[in-house]
Structure 1
């Protein structure tokens, strides 16, 4: 692709990090570009893409606010409860629209069945097998290899 001739950037899948999208769009503004660059972003209504774009926009505005005020670092504190709530909102977003449509035959949604079991915010996997295969010890392996070489 010849970026000096490109004058349009189309985003089909936005990144959670808005700086990645800005960098991708900036590639068309490299040395040699003489025309204005148009940026088009495709989003599906009532989808996760819409939430990703919304969060990326808020991150970008926060970045701009911090840089404008001359503060280049924020207080270090964790937002684990807020992150869990945000994840829940993302997963539930659009489900009400999907279920309220006239064509929908789904009566109730059990998110636990769809997403799988979790404990303390971590996904549970299948239990490890309780039976273990008895592997030969190093001495047994050495004895077998010596017996084969004779």
Structure 2
């Protein structure tokens, strides 16, 4: 029997797998901010940010760990909100990706302008992934005051 939000349908199972995978990805990325990839992430902090690059990397790593964890464990009724928060986070860090391209900073094997430019559209995919896998899009479309 399908649940209210279709979690037991093929699409619901795919969303659950996507949400848990995104949560795991975020938790891993956040952990890497704090450990082995710290310098690589510093290359993504724009020169114009008025806070030290290490503080930005540590702070964003903590946020990623928190978002990743909440994506995995949030009760169903809160998942659209968590998805919207994750999508907003991906939008908020996008200027770092653009700055890495514009400033020509190497990091994570992105050692040419072509590679840095090719990476930019993938941030949009992360936004879509967060909204889809948590049911945030569906909740927004179903909202009566939309």
Q: TM-score, normalised by structure 1?
A: 0.26
* Greater helix fraction, Structure 1 or Structure 2: 2
Return the structure number with greater relative CO, CA threshold 8 A, min gap 6: 2
Structure having the higher Rg: 1
